[in-house]
Amino acid sequence: MDGEIRIFGGGSMKFSTKAIHVGEEPNYEVNGEVVSPIHLSTTFARRYPEVPTKGYEYTRTSNPTRGALEKKLASLEEGRFGLAFASGLAAETSLLLALLKKGDTILASDDLYGGTRRIFESVIKKFGVDFRTVDFTSTASFETEARSSRIIWVETPSNPLLKIIDIAKLSKMAHENGSLLVVDNTFATPYFQNPLKFGSDVVVHSTTKYISGHSDTLGGGIVTNNDELFEKLKFHQNAVGAVLSPFDSYMTMRGIKTLSVRMREHEKNAMRIAEYLLEKNKVKKVYYPGLEDHFNHEVAKSQMKGYGGIVSFALDLDREGIRRFLRNLKYITLGESLGGVESLIEVPSLMTHASVPREVREQMGIIDNLVRFSVGIEDVDDLIEDLESAFGAI
């Protein structure tokens, strides 16, 4: 593919146009719907026993609404094949079951979402798969490890420290050693970053987050350009059955249509918030890839078109002080997850990464006073006023 999806008889489309139109082309032979309908049927009638109608037989295997979403996800990531799952973790588990066997090794970034780490340590390990972590921002530290790894798994930006990993450099090393590179692109979204263009074999998403964008539907996605990988993943999607429902597929497509608009606003607000936090004496450190002093900022500039909507920061407060700070927020909601239009804030050590042993968290840099802020698209002046009030209360 040349990175541009062609529909409606020809013209090439940019991102915002693809987000609205791909997978939802009007079917003039039926009703000409502008919006792809929700196909709730779990089974599909046949005229002949051996011939599924238009390829559809059972919704776990394939469904027109989910298929429309999968086409849209692939187009946004500039990939050929997309698959949609019941959650981000369902997508990851299906991928791992499809690609790993006893004796294989996963080499993952040290700064990793707690739920993903839990799959690696508590689920996949039971099947004889080894799991190791490494700091991928240091080339020397993983060159040796990479040689024996079936899968190299990274988040960039990472969760929650927003580490930036050079995808092109890592993909070259992975392929030289016969490894597959999987990039979790949830934080950046396909609007700001397309890992497949830099050599990644597979891209995964929690579509629950920015892609859906409204904190009202759960989902996960996988995109690849590799025919063989796709066939394996498609088989396991059907065999395992952790597929996205037609209704959630519709809701996810509905959210995607405003992805570019929302991401521009998320990024604009996040940069203002990051700059504001730099000036607060109760803030010890600010993590945001858009700041020039952020580690690997230059790499971010080279592979991203924007820096996203997540800001993490360390407070110069004890646990009670942090609780007081959080209690005094009005517009910014204390809650897990991220990527919705509303602002959400959390303490990783007590929430999203609580399942990670304390000594491992601290080694990763996830200290007790670290806060992760998913900056929403409210008026940024209101968000700053809210933070100012909370700082005043401590």
Active-site residue list = 60, 113, 184, 209
Euclidean distance between CA atoms 73 and 85, whole angstroms: 12
Euclidean distance between CA atoms 327 and 23, whole angstroms: 44
Which is nearest to 155 in space by CA: 136, 183, 181? 183
Q: Is 16 helix (H, G, I), strand (E, B) or coil?
A: helix
- The per-residue DSSP string of 176-231 comes to HTTPEEEEE-TTTHHHH--GGGGT-SEEEEETTTTTT-SS----EEEEES-HHHHH
Which is nearest to 98 in space by CA: 172, 220, 225, 202? 202
Residue 180: what residue type? L
- The stretches of the chain forming alpha helices (DSSP H) are 15-21, 64-76, 88-99, 114-118, 139-146, 167-176, 189-192, 227-240, 246-256, 259-278, 297-303, 319-327, 358-364, 380-393
State both tokens at 207.
């579509």
CB atoms within 10 A of CB 373: 25
